[in-house]
Amino acid sequence: MAIAEILCVGTELLLGDVLDTNSQFLARELAVLGIDCYYRVVVGDNPERIKSALRQALGRSDIVITSGGLGPTADDLTTECIADVFASPMVVDPETLAFIEELFRSRNLVMPPSNRKQAMRPQGADILPNPVGSAPGIIWPIGKEALQKAAIASEYVAQDSVNAPYRVILTFPGVPGELKAMWSETAGPYLAKHYPSGTIWSKELKHIGIGESALAEKFSHLLELSNPTVAPYAGRWECRLRVSAKAATREEARLAAQPVIDEIRSGSGVTLYGEDDDTLESVVANLLVSNGKTISLAESCTGGLITERLTDLPGSSRFMHSAVVAYSNEAKEKFLGVDQSVINKYGAVSEEVAVAMGKGILAASESDLALAVTGIAGPGGGTEDKPVGLVYVALVASVSPGKEPLSFVRKLLLGSRINRSEVRYRTANEALNMVRLFLLEPSSL
Amino acid sequence: MAIAEILCVGTELLLGDVLDTNSQFLARELAVLGIDCYYRVVVGDNPERIKSALRQALGRSDIVITSGGLGPTADDLTTECIADVFASPMVVDPETLAFIEELFRSRNLVMPPSNRKQAMRPQGADILPNPVGSAPGIIWPIGKEALQKAAIASEYVAQDSVNAPYRVILTFPGVPGELKAMWSETAGPYLAKHYPSGTIWSKELKHIGIGESALAEKFSHLLELSNPTVAPYAGRWECRLRVSAKAATREEARLAAQPVIDEIRSGSGVTLYGEDDDTLESVVANLLVSNGKTISLAESCTGGLITERLTDLPGSSRFMHSAVVAYSNEAKEKFLGVDQSVINKYGAVSEEVAVAMGKGILAASESDLALAVTGIAGPGGGTEDKPVGLVYVALVASVSPGKEPLSFVRKLLLGSRINRSEVRYRTANEALNMVRLFLLEPSSL
CATH number at residue B263: 3.30.70.2860
Q: Report the CATH number at residue A118.
A: 3.40.980.10
Chain A nearest-CA distance from B28, in A, is 5
On whether both A271 and A317 belong to a single domain, the answer is no
On whether both A255 and A290 belong to a single domain, the answer is no
Q: Report the CATH number at residue B352.
A: 3.90.950.20
Is any Cβ of chain A less than 8 angstroms from the Cβ of B307?
Answer: yes
Interface list for A 55-114 with B (CB within 8 A): 71-75, 106-109, 112-114
Which chain A residue has its CA at the smallest distance from B241's CA? A12
Q: For the ranges A237-246, A323-332, A405-414, B202-211, which has the lowest average pLDDT?
A: A237-246
Counted across chains A and B, CB pairs separated by less than 8 A come out at: 243
CA distance A172 to A133: 11
Nearest Cβ partner for A14 among B27, B334, B420: B27
Where in A158-198 does DSSP place strands (E)? 167-172
Nearest Cβ partner for B37 among A14, A303, A331: A14
- Under an 8 A CB cutoff, do B312 and A424 touch? yes
The pLDDT of residue A377 is: 93
CA distance A175 to A135: 10
Q: Which pairing describes strands B320-326 and B167-172: parallel, antiparallel, or unpaired?
A: unpaired
- Under an 8 A CB cutoff, do A13 and B31 touch? no
Chain A nearest-CA distance from B303, in A, is 5
How far, CA to CA in Å, does B105 sit from each of A13, B98, B181, B357? 41, 10, 22, 65
- Under an 8 A CB cutoff, do B314 and A17 touch? no
Secondary structure of chain B as H, E, C letters: CCEEEEEEECHHHHCCCCCCCHHHHHHHHHHHCCCEEEEEEEECCCHHHHHHHHHHHHHHCCEEEEECCCCCCCCCCHHHHHHHHCCCCEEECHHHHHHHHHHHHHCCCCCCHHHHHHHEEECCCEEECCCCCCCCEEEEEECHHHHHHCCCCCCCCCCCCCCCCCEEEEEECCCHHHHHHHHHHHHHHHHHHHCCCCEEEEEEEEECCCCHHHHHHHCHHHHCCCCCEEEEEECCCCEEEEEEEEECCHHHHHHHHHHHHHHHHHHHHHHEEEECCCCHHHHHHHHHHHCCCCEEEEECCCCCHHHHHHHCCCCHHHCEEEEEEECCHHHHHHHHCCCHHHHHHHCCCCHHHHHHHHHHHHHHHCCCEEEEEEECCCCCCCCCCCCCCEEEEEEEECCCCCCCCEEEEEEEECCCCCCHHHHHHHHHHHHHHHHHHHHHCHHHC
Considering its fold, how many domains does chain B have in total? 3
CA distance B151 to B168: 16
- Under an 8 A CB cutoff, do B311 and A321 touch? no
Chain B nearest-CA distance from A177, in A, is 10
Q: What is the ipTM of this complex?
A: 0.75
The pLDDT of residue B160 is: 56
Q: At what angle do helices A420-440 and A280-290 cross, to 10 degrees?
A: 30
The pLDDT of residue B257 is: 97
On whether both B35 and B143 belong to a single domain, the answer is yes
For residues A233 and A242, is the Cβ–Cβ distance under 8 A?
yes
Chain A residues within 8 A of B53 when measuring between CB atoms: 39
pLDDT in tens, chain B (445 residues): 789 999 999 988 998 878 899 999 999 899 888 899 999 999 998 999 999 999 999 999 999 999 999 987 777 899 999 999 999 999 999 999 998 888 788 777 788 887 888 899 999 999 999 987 788 999 999 999 999 999 998 877 766 566 788 999 999 999 888 899 999 999 999 998 898 877 778 899 999 999 888 999 999 999 989 899 998 888 888 999 999 898 888 899 999 999 999 999 999 999 999 999 899 999 999 999 999 999 999 999 999 999 999 999 999 999 999 999 998 899 999 999 999 999 999 999 999 999 999 999 999 998 999 999 999 998 988 999 999 999 999 999 998 888 999 999 999 999 877 889 999 999 999 999 999 999 998 888 8
Chain B residues within 8 A of A202 when measuring between CB atoms: none
Residue B287, judged by CB atoms within 10 A of its CB (0-12, 13-18, 19+), counts as middle
Considering chain A, what is the average pLDDT of its residues?
Answer: 92
- Under an 8 A CB cutoff, do A314 and B378 touch? yes
Chain B residues within 8 A of A132 when measuring between CB atoms: 417-418
CA distance B81 to B332: 67
From A194, A210, A245, give the residue that closes a domain. Answer: A194
Residue A379 DSSP SS3: coil
Q: Which residues pair with B241 in a beta bridge?
A: B205, B232
Mutate which of A52, A99, A307 to disrupt the B interface (most B C-beta within 10 Å)?
A: A307
On whether both A244 and A145 belong to a single domain, the answer is no
From A194, A219, A237, give the residue that closes a domain. Answer: A194
* Residue range A126-185, pLDDT digits in tens: 999 998 888 899 999 999 999 999 999 887 776 656 678 899 999 999 999 899 999 999
Chain B nearest-CA distance from A13, in A, is 7
Chain A nearest-CA distance from B104, in A, is 19
Where in A116-212 does DSSP place strands (E)? 120-122, 126-128, 137-142, 167-172, 199-207
- Under an 8 A CB cutoff, do A421 and B13 touch? no
CA distance B186 to A310: 47
On whether both A248 and A293 belong to a single domain, the answer is no
The pLDDT of residue B161 is: 60
- Under an 8 A CB cutoff, do A312 and B421 touch? yes
> CA A247: distance to chain centroid?
27
CA distance A416 to A422: 10
On whether both B227 and B341 belong to a single domain, the answer is no
From B275, B290, B309, give the residue that closes a domain. Answer: B275
- Under an 8 A CB cutoff, do A16 and B39 touch? no
Chain B nearest-CA distance from A273, in A, is 21
Chain B nearest-CA distance from A443, in A, is 31
On whether both A245 and A373 belong to a single domain, the answer is no
Q: Which amino acid makes up residue B298?
A: A
The pLDDT of residue B211 is: 87
Chain B nearest-CA distance from A437, in A, is 24
CA distance A230 to A221: 10
On whether both B344 and B410 belong to a single domain, the answer is yes
DSSP A319: T
Mutate which of B5, B9, B13, B15 to disrupt the A interface (most A C-beta within 10 Å)?
A: B15
Interface list for B 119-138 with A (CB within 8 A): none
Residues 6+ apart with CB under 8 A from B29: A16, B183, B188
On whether both B322 and B299 belong to a single domain, the answer is yes
CA distance A353 to A344: 10
Residue A216, judged by CB atoms within 10 A of its CB (0-12, 13-18, 19+), counts as middle
Residues 6+ apart with CB under 8 A from B238: B206, B207, B208, B273, B280, B429
Is any Cβ of chain A less than 8 angstroms from the Cβ of B363?
Answer: no
CA distance B386 to B380: 11
For residue B353, what are the domain limits? 280-444
Q: Which pairing describes strands B369-375 and B295-299: parallel, antiparallel, or unpaired?
A: parallel
* Residue range B317-370, pLDDT digits in tens: 999 999 999 988 999 999 999 999 999 999 999 999 999 999 999 999 989 999
pLDDT over threshold 70, residue A67:
yes
- Under an 8 A CB cutoff, do A327 and B331 touch? no
Nearest to B358 by CA among B295, B403, B282, B423: B295
On whether both B11 and B146 belong to a single domain, the answer is yes
**A214 confidence band (pLDDT: 50, 70, 90):** confident
The pLDDT of residue A164 is: 86
Chain B nearest-CA distance from A439, in A, is 22
* Residue range B212-265, pLDDT digits in tens: 889 999 999 999 898 999 988 888 889 999 998 988 888 999 999 999 999 999
Interface list for A 405-434 with B (CB within 8 A): 420-421, 424
Chain A nearest-CA distance from B148, in A, is 23
On whether both A178 and A258 belong to a single domain, the answer is no
Is any Cβ of chain B less than 8 angstroms from the Cβ of A321?
Answer: yes
The pLDDT of residue B162 is: 62
Is any Cβ of chain B less than 8 angstroms from the Cβ of A297?
Answer: yes
Nearest to B78 by CA among B146, B5, B173: B173
Nearest Cβ partner for B315 among A310, A324, A380: A380
Which chain B residue has its CA at the smallest distance from A232's CA? B17
Work out the number of other CB atoms within 10 angstroms of the CB of residue B201.
24
> CA A88: distance to chain centroid?
38
Which chain A residue has its CA at the smallest distance from B20's CA? A20
Is any Cβ of chain A less than 8 angstroms from the Cβ of B297?
Answer: yes
Nearest to A75 by CA among B232, B228, B227, B39: B232
On whether both A309 and A427 belong to a single domain, the answer is yes
Work out the number of other CB atoms within 10 angstroms of the CB of residue A217.
12
CA distance B150 to B169: 14
The pLDDT of residue A134 is: 83
Chain A residues within 8 A of B223 when measuring between CB atoms: 73-75
